[in-house]
């Protein structure tokens, strides 16, 4: 399977702190994406980083990509209670497929 893996599986922080979650994957990629899922709902796209990029920002989100280590990190700065959700990384595969990791469950305590 080309499925990636997020680390940690679960993360609990206080409001205002930064949250960092990591993703490792197995094969070469064209891009890597991060998605967010609120409990019991579908996933929402957050940010996409291409294989020739090393870092990307979007609002309070910062994503890094290290293709030599086949890993990525998602940093959420100044977290809010509303950031409580599960976060997934996804990599593109062959033939129009995406491969998702197992997710990091983030809890932000008010």
Partner 1 sequence: DVKVTQSSRYLVKRTGEKVFLECVQDMDHENMFWYRQDPGLGLRLIYFSYDVKMKEKGDIPEGYSVSREKKERFSLILESASTNQTSMYLCASSLPWTGVDEKLFFGSGTQLSVL
Provide the binding-site residues for partner 1, judged by CB under 8 A.
1, 3, 30-31, 33, 35, 40-45, 48, 88, 90, 92, 95-103
- Min CB(17)–partner 1 separation in Å: 26
Smallest distance, Å, CB 52 to partner 1? 11
Q: Three-class SS of residue 54?
A: coil
Q: Which of 23, 18, 7 is nearest to 73 (CA)?
A: 23
**Which of 9, 4, 14, 23 lies closest to 83, judged by CA?**
14
Q: How far is the CB of 100 from partner 1 (least distance, A)?
A: 4
* C-beta closer to partner 1: residue 35 or 85: 35
Beta pairing class for 104-109 and 10-14:
parallel
């Amino acid at each position: 399977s080309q499925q990636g893996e997020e680390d940690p599986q679960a993360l609990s922080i206080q409001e205002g702190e930064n949250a960092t979650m990591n993703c490792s994957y197995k094969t070469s990629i064209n891009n890597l994406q991060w998605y967010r899922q609120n409990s019991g709902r579908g996933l929402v796209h957050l940010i996409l980083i291409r294989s020739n990029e090393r870092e990307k920002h979007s609002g309070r989100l910062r994503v890094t990509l290290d293709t030599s280590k086949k890993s990525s990190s998602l940093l959420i700065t100044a977290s809010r209670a509303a950031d409580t959700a599960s976060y997934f990384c996804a990599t593109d595969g062959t033939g129009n497929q995406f491969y998702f990791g197992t997710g990091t469950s983030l809890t932000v305590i008010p």
